[in-house]
C-alpha cells in the first residue's frame, strides 16, 4: 500500500481529552476517531491491527475444535427475563422497544442467545461436548466511558461457550480454552498474568482473568517471580482491612515459590465455569443415557479491541507505538526521500516494494510529497517494526538505510542485502 492511496490520518498535537497513552496514540496515529462518547470509528490502520488480533484468536479457537457462529447484537428481552438477568444486569444493559412495543437490548454478552440456540438445535448427548465461538460487537452502557477503546460502550469481543454432559467434561473444556488463551497471548507477544477472578454478573463458579501488565491498568496484581501464582492484590489482603496492598511487594509468595511482585494489569480475557445457571433457568435439556439432563456450561471472553489498546500501553516510547510484527498494520515501512523526483530512485523503490510483497511482506510505501522529518515522524508514530529508507545520498552510493522501530541504530546496506534481513 502506498501512503498516497491510504487514509493516513496522523496528528501532530496531543488530543486534550485523552487520559491514557493508548488513547492518545490511537488518535494521533489515526487508528480511531470518536463518533460519540465511548463509540469509535476504526480507520484503515486500526482495522488492520484488529484483523491481525482476530486472526490469531480465530486460529487458536479453530485449533481447539471450537466452531464459529455469529449471533445478533440485538437480543429479545424475553430471553433475558428467562435467565433472570433482565433486572439483575443493571443500567449497563441498553434497553429499547420496537414498533410493536416488544422489548430488546443491545447485547453486552450472549449467554442467553447461545442457550436458546442450543436448546433448539442440540437434542442428544452424542452431540456433546461442543464449543461455539463468535467475534462480535458488544454494547455496554458505561456510566463513564474512559480511556478510549479501553473502557468504551461499543467494543469488539470474542466470546465462546462450551456445553458438556458432566462437571468433568466441563473441566476438560475449560482447560482446553485456557490452553488456547495461553497460546493466543503468547502469539500476540504480550506480557501477561492469569489471575483468579470474581464471576460478577455473568454468574457461575470458578473463573480466571488474563491481564496484560501495564502501568495504566486498573487492577493491582500480586504475582510470584518464581511461579505462575498471581492474584488481585485487593483479594490477597481482603481479610486484613488495615493493610496497604503496596506492602505485599517482596513478601513470600503464598504458594511458597519466590517473592511477590506488584504491577498493574489490564484485563483482556476472562474464562468462567457457568455450571447449570443458564441451562436450568432457560430449560435447556439434553437426552442422555440416564435421562434428560441440564448440560454444564462454560463461557470464555477476549476483548479484541481492548487488546489493541493494551498492547500499546505495554509497548510504546515518546515517538509513538511499538508494534510487534504479529499485529502491526504493516511489517515494513518503505520511506522514499526524493524531493527532486528522480526517476531512478523511484524505480529502486518500486523494485524493493515489489520484491518484498512477492516474499509475503506487508509494506507501507511512504511516497508522499513531504519532508523527511514528517515521514520519519509518522512512521515512528504508527509503530511499524522495520523501516527501509531510500534517499538521494544513499542512492548515489548504491545503498539503502535500514532501521528497527525502537532502536536508534541505522544500518547502510546494498539493496539486495536489505531484502534478506527483512523479517
| pLDDT tens digits along 35-78 | 999 999 999 999 999 999 999 999 999 999 999 999 999 999 99
CATH code for 3-317?
A: 3.30.930.10
Q: Would you list the domain boundaries of the chain?
A: 3-317, 332-421
Taken in order 343, 347, 348, 350, is the CA torsion positive or negative? positive
Residue ranges of alpha helices (H) inside 324-398 are 343-358, 372-382, 392-396
Asked if pLDDT for residue 203 goes beyond 80, the answer is no
Average pLDDT on 145-172 reads 95
At 85-102, the pLDDT tens digits run: 999 998 999 999 999 999
Asked if pLDDT for residue 245 goes beyond 90, the answer is no
Average pLDDT on 76-84 reads 96
Asked if pLDDT for residue 409 goes beyond 80, the answer is yes
Identify the CATH assignment for 332-421 out of 3.40.190.10, 3.40.50.800, 1.10.10.60, 3.40.30.10.
3.40.50.800
Calculate ∠ Cα 329-330-334, nearest 5°: 145
Average pLDDT on 298-312 reads 97
Question: What pLDDT was estimated at residue 185?
Answer: 97
- The rounded mean pLDDT for the chain is 93
Residue 16 phi/psi, 5° resolution?
A: -70, -25
Assign 147 to helix, strand or coil: coil
d(CA 129, CA 126): 8
Amino acid at each position: 500500500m502506498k501512503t498516497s492511496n491510504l487514509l493516513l490520518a496522523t496528528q501532530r498535537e496531543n488530543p486534550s481529552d485523552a487520559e491514557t497513552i493508548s488513547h492518545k496514540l490511537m488518535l494521533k496515529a489515526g487508528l480511531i476517531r470518536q463518533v460519540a462518547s465511548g463509540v469509535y470509528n476504526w480507520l484503515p490502520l486500526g482495522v488492520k491491527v484488529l484483523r491481525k488480533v482476530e486472526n490469531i484468536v480465530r486460529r487458536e479457537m479453530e485449533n481447539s475444535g471450537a466452531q464459529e457462529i455469529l449471533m445478533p447484537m440485538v437480543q429479545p428481552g424475553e430471553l433475558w427475563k428467562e435467565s433472570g438477568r433482565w433486572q439483575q444486569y443493571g443500567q449497563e444493559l441498553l434497553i429499547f422497544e420496537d414498533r410493536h412495543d416488544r422489548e430488546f437490548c443491545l447485547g453486552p454478552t450472549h449467554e442467553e442467545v447461545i442457550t436458546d440456540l442450543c436448546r433448539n438445535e442440540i437434542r442428544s448427548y452424542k452431540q456433546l461436548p461442543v464449543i461455539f465461538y463468535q467475534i462480535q460487537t458488544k454494547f455496554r452502557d458505561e456510566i463513564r466511558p474512559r480511556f478510549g477503546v479501553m473502557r468504551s460502550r461499543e467494543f469488539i469481543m470474542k466470546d465462546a461457550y462450551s456445553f458438556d454432559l458432566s462437571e468433568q467434561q466441563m473441566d476438560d473444556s475449560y482447560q482446553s480454552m485456557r490452553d488456547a488463551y495461553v497460546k493466543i497471548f503468547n502469539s500476540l507477544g504480550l506480557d501477561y498474568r492469569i489471575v483468579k477472578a470474581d464471576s460478577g454478573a455473568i454468574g457461575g463458579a470458578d473463573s480466571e482473568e488474563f491481564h496484560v501488565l501495564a502501568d495504566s491498568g486498573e487492577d493491582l496484581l500480586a504475582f510470584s517471580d518464581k511461579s505462575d501464582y498471581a492474584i488481585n492484590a485487593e483479594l490477597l489482603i481482603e481479610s486484613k482491612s488495615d493493610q496497604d496492598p503496596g506492602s505485599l511487594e517482596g513478601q513470600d509468595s503464598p504458594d511458597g515459590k519466590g517473592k511477590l511482585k506488584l504491577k498493574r494489569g489490564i484485563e483482556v480475557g476472562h474464562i468462567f465455569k457457568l455450571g447449570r445457571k443458564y441451562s436450568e433457568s432457560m430449560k435447556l435439556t439434553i437426552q442422555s443415557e440416564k435421562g434428560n439432563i441440564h448440560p454444564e456450561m462454560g463461557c470464555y471472553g477476549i476483548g479484541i479491541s481492548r487488546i489493541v489498546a493494551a498492547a500499546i500501553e505495554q509497548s510504546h516510547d515518546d515517538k509513538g507505538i511499538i508494534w510487534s510484527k504479529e499485529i502491526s498494520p504493516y511489517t515494513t515501512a518503505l520511506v522514499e526521500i526524493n524531493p527532486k523526483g528522480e526517476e531512478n530512485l523511484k524505480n529502486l523503490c518500486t523494485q524493493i516494494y515489489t520484491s518484498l510483497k512477492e516474499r509475503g511482506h506487508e509494506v507501507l510505501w511512504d511516497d508522499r510529497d513531504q519532508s523527511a522529518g514528517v515521514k520519519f515522524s509518522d512512521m515512528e508514530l504508527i509503530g511499524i517494526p522495520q523501516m527501509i529508507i531510500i534517499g538521494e545520498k544513499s542512492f548515489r552510493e548504491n545503498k539503502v538505510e535500514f532501521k528497527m522501530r525502537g532502536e536508534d541504530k541505522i544500518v547502510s546496506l546494498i539493496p539486495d542485502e536489505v531484502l534478506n534481513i527483512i523479517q
